[in-house]
Structure 1
Amino acid sequence: MNVSLSVEVLPESMLRDVVDLLVRLVEAAGALIIFLGAVWAFGRFLLAGIRGGGVGREFNKIRLSLGRFLALGLEFQLAGDVLRTAIAPSFTEIGQLAAIAAIRTALNYFLSREIANERAEIERERRKEADDFSPPAGPA
């Protein structure tokens, strides 16, 4: 006697609809993060320009913060792509995910390197300013 018991939590079509909704939410969150980061950076840029003379000094800090928003947004976008292929992906979808993941990972890698370089540059500037303001050591 061969008894086959199959329990289906959600029909595949309903599961696809749920995952599609989740993909849209995750991708929307990523897009919103990138948009908010761009608006925030633009606002900071304008404020630095209005204050006068501060744009050059603030520029690296603004770029560093915008880079963080971009990196986070890209991570959300990649998560959406992974979710999209979570249910019975075809080889074409797997190939597309691999290409998208490679491109976004490369973007994120170079963005992270740029953020690290900017952070190091800001730290060097801070140290230089601190050294410029410290009194010279004289004979004791």
Structure 2
Amino acid sequence: MNFADVMEIIGTTIDAAGVAVIVVGALVGTIRFLRSLAARQDFTAGYRRYRQGLGRAILLGLEFLVAGDIIRTVAISPSYSSVGVLAVIVAVRTFLSFSLEVELEGRWPWQARRDRETTQGAGSA
């Protein structure tokens, strides 16, 4: 077994971990959401928690998938075309991650957090 084979196995294993994180996160989130429905809790709050949990699982899974792509591309075949393809993949996944983060947080990354604003506003009065 040579270096390229080992890196391929490591990259594939990290990819599998990313997929597993997304699948497990989706299953756990769905089970929690269904339990909240069965307990007749507030649907809107339960749905919001469900979406946030699913979004976080997708974000973490995307990080693993990007790591697997980087390992395979840089360690196995660092040609200009493979690095270019990796750059496009990373750009698309970064855009997805950014979009999901904005959706989950409900604000742009450069905006102050709402909990900071309320505590700062209360302390300065």
State whether TM-score is above 0.5.
Answer: yes
Equivalent residue for 1:84?
72
Q: Tell me how many residue pairs correspond in the alignment.
A: 109
Q: Is the 8 A contact 2:55 2:100 kept in 1?
A: yes
- Structure 1 residue ranges, 4+ long, deviating more than 4 angstroms after superposition: none
Equivalent residue for 1:108?
97
Q: Which is higher, the Rg of structure 1 or of structure 2?
A: 1
TM-score, length of structure 1 as denominator length: 0.71
Note the aligned Cα RMSD (angstroms).
Answer: 2.0
State the distance in 2 between where 1:98 and 1:107 align: 14
TM-score, length of structure 2 as denominator length: 0.79
State the distance in 2 between where 1:57 and 1:73 align: 24
For the pair 1:63 / 2:51, whether they are aligned, the reply is yes
State the distance in 2 between where 1:47 and 1:54 align: 12
Higher helix share: 2
Equivalent residue for 2:88?
99
Shift of 1:14: 0.4
Q: Which runs of 5+ in 1 are unaligned?
A: 1-12, 128-140
Q: Partner letter of residue 85 of structure 2?
A: Q
